[in-house]
Amino acid sequence: MKSVPFWTDDHPRPNHLPEEDLSGQTDVLVIGAGITGLTAARLLARAGIETVVAEARSIGEGASALNAGMAIYGLKADPTVVIDRFGERLGRELWDASNKAIDLIEQLVGEEAIACDFFRPGSAELGFTARDDRVLAAYARRTTEDLGFPIEYLPRDRLGEIVGSGRFSMALTEETSAGLHPAKYTFGLAGAAARAGARLVEHADVSAVEKTGGRFTVTTSRGRIQAGRILVTTNGYTGTLFPSIRRRIVPIGSYSIVTESLPVHLAEEVLPGNRMVWTARRFLNYFRRTPDNRVLIGGRRNLQTDLNLAETARDLRSRLVEFFPQLASFEVSHVWGGKLGAAFDLLPHIGQHDDVWYAMGYGGHGVALGTYLGSEVGKLMAGELDRSPFAEIAHPTRWYYQQRPWFLPLAAAAYRTLDRFGR
């Protein structure tokens, strides 16, 4: 078993992506070369704005090239809660944007000819108990009737249409969600940003930013650059460079394994519709088929970002076999983990103060929402948009969160208890 992400092992950083040096000056410096930063950089460069992307490691080496590649509908926050909180107009706008995000990926992939195994099989959320049944059926009714977003309730006797497992009691399905190969997508976005004229600089860890005379001097491990504006797209990898951003984003670990390639008939038996699937739990598991017919399962037994990979692989494998005993004799070929970023209100945010902009906080929906907010923030900075709903909602922090998310083990214990009692 390899302790490296399956996706970049399958599709490493292409050599044709340009390798640039960092020097001189630029209009906009984007910090972080993931889905958000690259989508924004492409738009900024296309608008004729000089743009440099500084990435501490290599392109996509945050979460973007190693996630499960599930571009799923919705926000992490419940839409009813969002509408109650922000009112009908703004609440619906936030919800609608999250669903338009998948169309945006489809459009981008088409326009830029990004070959990333994009397809739209829809998604399924699987429940275990009679309570899941009630809660999820009510959710499906609300989204279908009140929001006009059709979600279908599937009883146990129809589960065979989406999952080859006796472990679940029901499912919710919808038809808009997509799957893609995250490494191919992220490197494809990098290629598109470079073609538009953005300069991509890897191994340039930004360690200091100072503003004097209306311009920023940015110090990185690869030298210095002057910039007119900064865009921070570091999501789960956000450090203490900008303390007020750091205090608004909580890094959370997520981990995945894949099996070796399965015989096609078995892959089809396990996930017949090839949907993007997850379980109805706080500590949820997500699973899908890879383009070469492995089964990927991910999740976490903790919120921590530094779990031991061998133990994590054992854990995830036992979940996999619990759900799909027919996979017991197949090897796990890869295990890996990374960090996603969540805000306290479970919503993504765009912020701006004194020419420092940021976009982040997708709570595990960053494939779709990172693309969408990257596009929104790029257009806002280019003057092509005059507002975004994600820039109009307050971005909360908590008095007890200064630098370290010391409270995560407590939150994890509470979530585990609620999950155990099916709440």
Ligand X SMILES: Cc1cc2nc3c(=O)[nH]c(=O)nc-3n(C[C@H](O)[C@H](O)[C@H](O)COP(=O)(O)OP(=O)(O)OC[C@H]3O[C@@H](n4cnc5c(N)ncnc54)[C@H](O)[C@@H]3O)c2cc1C
Shortest gap between Cβ of 74 and ligand X (angstroms)?
A: 10
Contact between 241 and ligand X (CB under 6 A)?
yes
Contact between 36 and ligand X (CB under 6 A)?
yes
Shortest gap between Cβ of 35 and ligand X (angstroms)?
A: 4
Contact between 136 and ligand X (CB under 6 A)?
no
Cα Rg, the chain, nearest whole Å: 21
The C-alpha atoms of residue 166 and residue 161 are separated, in whole angstroms, by 12
C-beta closer to ligand X: residue 169 or 337: 337
Q: With CB under 6 A as the rule, give the number of residues binding ligand X.
A: 45
C-beta closer to ligand X: residue 61 or 125: 61
Shortest gap between Cβ of 331 and ligand X (angstroms)?
A: 20
CA dihedral sign, ordered 166, 168, 172, 177: negative
C-beta closer to ligand X: residue 169 or 302: 302
The C-alpha atoms of residue 283 and residue 9 are separated, in whole angstroms, by 27
> What pairing do the DSSP bridges indicate for beta strands 295-299 and 51-54?
unpaired
Contact between 31 and ligand X (CB under 6 A)?
yes
Stretch binding ligand X (CB under 6 A), from 91-99, 118-126, 129-137, 233-241:
233-241
Give helix 35-46 / helix 182-196 axis angle, nearest 10°: 20
Question: What is the spatial order of strands in the sheet that 295-299 belongs to?
Answer: 152-155, 170-174, 123-127, 276-279, 285-289, 295-299, 250-259, 332-342
The C-alpha atoms of residue 81 and residue 169 are separated, in whole angstroms, by 26
Contact between 256 and ligand X (CB under 6 A)?
yes
Contact between 298 and ligand X (CB under 6 A)?
yes
User: From the list 29, 44, 68, 105, which residue makes contact with ligand X (rule: CB under 6 A)?
Assistant: 68
Stretch binding ligand X (CB under 6 A), from 54-62, 86-94, 125-133, 302-310:
54-62
User: From the list 13, 26, 41, 61, which residue makes contact with ligand X (rule: CB under 6 A)?
Assistant: 61
Contact between 37 and ligand X (CB under 6 A)?
yes
Contact between 234 and ligand X (CB under 6 A)?
yes
User: From the list 13, 32, 44, 320, which residue makes contact with ligand X (rule: CB under 6 A)?
Assistant: 32
Contact between 55 and ligand X (CB under 6 A)?
yes
> What pairing do the DSSP bridges indicate for beta strands 123-127 and 276-279?
parallel
Shortest gap between Cβ of 214 and ligand X (angstroms)?
A: 23
Question: What kind and span of H or E run contains 70?
Answer: strand 70-71
Contact between 218 and ligand X (CB under 6 A)?
no
When CB distances to ligand X are compared, the closest residue is 366
Contact between 159 and ligand X (CB under 6 A)?
no
User: From the list 73, 139, 237, 323, which residue makes contact with ligand X (rule: CB under 6 A)?
Assistant: 237
**Residue that the structure tokens 């981008």 belong to:** 108
Contact between 361 and ligand X (CB under 6 A)?
no
Shortest gap between Cβ of 6 and ligand X (angstroms)?
A: 10
User: From the list 112, 205, 292, 419, which residue makes contact with ligand X (rule: CB under 6 A)?
Assistant: 205
Contact between 101 and ligand X (CB under 6 A)?
no
Contact between 70 and ligand X (CB under 6 A)?
yes
Contact between 125 and ligand X (CB under 6 A)?
no
Shortest gap between Cβ of 414 and ligand X (angstroms)?
A: 22
User: From the list 164, 197, 228, 239, which residue makes contact with ligand X (rule: CB under 6 A)?
Assistant: 239
> What pairing do the DSSP bridges indicate for beta strands 349-353 and 285-289?
unpaired
Reduced to 3 states (helix: H, G, I; strand: E, B; else coil), residue 45 is helix
- On whether the CB atoms of residues 93 and 312 are closer than 8 A, the answer is no
C-beta closer to ligand X: residue 270 or 343: 343
- On whether the CB atoms of residues 235 and 55 are closer than 8 A, the answer is no
- The residues, any chain, with a CB within 8 Å of residue 358's CB and separated by 6 or more, are 231, 232, 233, 242, 245, 349, 350, 351, 352, 377
- CA angle, residues 415, 420, 423, in degrees to nearest 5: 70
Contact between 364 and ligand X (CB under 6 A)?
yes
C-beta closer to ligand X: residue 153 or 287: 287
**Residue that the structure tokens 């940021």 belong to:** 358
- The residues, any chain, with a CB within 8 Å of residue 65's CB and separated by 6 or more, are 5, 7, 8, 59, 182, 183, 186, 187
The C-alpha atoms of residue 163 and residue 287 are separated, in whole angstroms, by 10
Residues binding ligand X (CB under 6 A) = 31-37, 54-57, 61-64, 66-70, 205-206, 233-237, 239, 241, 254-256, 298, 337-340, 360, 362, 364-368, 370
